[in-house]
Amino acid sequence: MVQICALASGSNGNCYYVGNEHDAVLVDVGVSRRQVLDRMKKVGLSEQKIRAIFITHEHSDHSRGVKLLSQKLKVPVFMSPGTFNRCYDANRPDVYTPFSPGQEVGVASLRIHTFLKYHDAAEPCSFVVQSAQVCVGVMTDIGEPCDNVKQHVAMCDAIFLESNYDERMLWDGNYPLFLKNRVSSRHGHLSNAQALELVDTHAGPRLKMVYLSHLSEENNHPTLAMKCFEPLQERYRIELTNRYAPSSVAVLNA
């Protein structure tokens, strides 16, 4: 049995929980220590199960709370060296455990598959957390679905997948041109349509759930993201994440 939950997901902060009966990890801590612990308590997840924290990249919406939360929980923080070196001093944990992108990391009963991706960060990575035969991907902040992303999507039983922007909202919106170009570039974010194509083309036979994640507040809307994924709603359970509250806790069985 594996439980998963998006504790926070959006440009103002991200944090994802994946765990089994005994052990769990958090991926990213882009909100405060208090928010993480309060939201876990709200949905009935125990902080006592947390064995480690993994950080995808140095941007504050993924790392701002990791220093204080790791101190409180007394758990190791795993980062690529590039991510650690580029973190703001206020966010950087006192001690971290480095990994090389592509390395498989064991944490108690869990295996974490790490891999590089495209994003405008120093050494950005995404993760697939494996418990026995169940694999859960956390894949946000992806500018372009590279081969690493496609191969790991194919492993997953469930995935927190970036569905950041609606193309029309982005290009008709108020962002300056340089920022529109950055968001839509291969080092920016996935649009709703790109996320749909990635799942439709590269999901494996085990995939059951897709959590639409990291939606832009300015350039997307939950109804647009869900409408885009309508063609897949008979094949998969499609859920939305929220920047201000935890998602429902889903349970996956091997």
Q: What is the pLDDT of residue 61?
A: 96
* Contact present, 101 and 115 (Cβ < 8 Å): yes
* Per-residue pLDDT tens digits for 230-252: 999 999 999 999 999 999 999 99
Does the predicted model carry a pTM greater than 0.85?
yes
Q: What is the pLDDT of residue 175?
A: 97
Reported as half-sphere exposure (CB side, CA atoms, 13 A), residue 227 has a value of 7
Say how far apart CA 155 and CA 230 lie, in whole Å. 22
Q: What is the pLDDT of residue 107?
A: 98
Q: Is 160 helix (H, G, I), strand (E, B) or coil?
A: strand
Q: What is the pLDDT of residue 21?
A: 97
Residue 22, phi then psi, degrees to nearest 5: -120, -35
Token output for 167? 């193309």
Q: What is the pLDDT of residue 254?
A: 74
Residue 227 in this model has a pLDDT that exceeds 90: yes
Question: Domain boundaries in the chain?
Answer: 2-252
* Per-residue pLDDT tens digits for 114-159: 999 999 999 999 999 999 999 999 999 999 999 999 999 999 999 9
Q: What is the DSSP string of 70-137?
A: HHHHT--EEE-HHHHHHS-TTTS-SS-EE--TT-EEEETTEEEEEEE--SSSSS-EEEEEEETTEEEE
What CATH architecture is 2-252? Answer: 4-Layer Sandwich (3.60)
* Per-residue pLDDT tens digits for 175-211: 999 999 999 999 999 999 999 999 999 999 999 999 9
| Residue 164: CB atoms within 10 Å | 28
- Pairing label, strands 24-27, 77-79: unpaired
DSSP 8-state code for residue 249: P
Average pLDDT over residues 215-242: 97
Closest alpha carbon to 16 in 48, 53, 67, 47: 53
Say how far apart CA 174 and CA 164 lie, in whole Å. 16
* Per-residue pLDDT tens digits for 57-102: 999 999 999 999 999 999 999 999 999 999 999 999 988 999 999 9
